[in-house]
Amino acid sequence: MKTTSERLTLGDYDPLIENEHLARYRFAQPMVAGMKVADLACGTGYGSQMLADAGARSVHGMDISEEAVNLCIERNNKPNVTYSVANAQDLTAISDNEFDAVVSFETIEHLPDVEAYLDEMARILRPGGTYLVSTPDSRIVSTMYFFQRHPANRHHVREYTGRQLISLLSTRFEIKARYGQAFLAWWLVFWPVQVCIKSFCRILGTAKARAFKDNLYSNGGNVEVMPKESGSRIPKYWVISCVNNRKPS
């Protein structure tokens, strides 16, 4: 299976991007001990394995790619981890209130029908259960998003600012806490500054120039998930912890 930043195979891609992915699952690990967990858009399954290693009672990894799921099954050596092909916008095979926690990292930006996806997250998660979601900030990963109105990444359908993401999630869930990865000074996010820096590095076209840009826009490689405190620093990735406040049916 071809490795990309959208569906990662450990050891086959840029170490910085790999660590961004791993950091999100390291963050989730302490929250899932003893729980029945769904890992939505599980990719090649490394995150599902990490959640199981952290003491989850069971982990069900799901991905829309049959090739990715077959790879997960082939590599799986844990009796409490299962995988299946599934569309996050339509999980009719999953019962209501099935999971204590749903982990869905870097998923929401890929989906055409976000409303259906959020309905499904609320349905398969038990009342009071935890929903962890992450997505990149549109202002950083798509510098001209405000003007072009579409993501720079061809795999993304829509991207969000932190405020937009919170507003969207609040329609179904109670927001428990806001976190982020790679917090940047506001002036680095200001689009004319980004255009100048990123264009200059692209024109240079050297490995050093690319490394400089990547390091600058990942807070020096500090990609561990941290609380979003008051202030002007903006994370490259948002990580939001939600509680399902839906009443039992």
The predicted-structure confidence for 67-123, as pLDDT tens digits, reads as follows 999 999 998 889 999 999 999 999 999 999 999 999 999 999 999 999 999 999 999
Q: What is the pLDDT of residue 143?
A: 84
Burial class (CB in 10 A: 0-12, 13-18, 19+), 58: middle
pLDDT for residue 248 is more than 60: yes
Predicted confidence band at 2 (pLDDT cuts at 50, 70, 90)? low
Is the distance from CB of 131 to CB of 164 less than 8 angstroms? no
Q: What is the pLDDT of residue 8?
A: 66
Q: What is the pLDDT of residue 3?
A: 52
Is the distance from CB of 184 to CB of 236 less than 8 angstroms? yes
Residue type, 236: K
Is the distance from CB of 97 to CB of 71 less than 8 angstroms? no
Q: What is the mean pLDDT of the chain?
A: 92
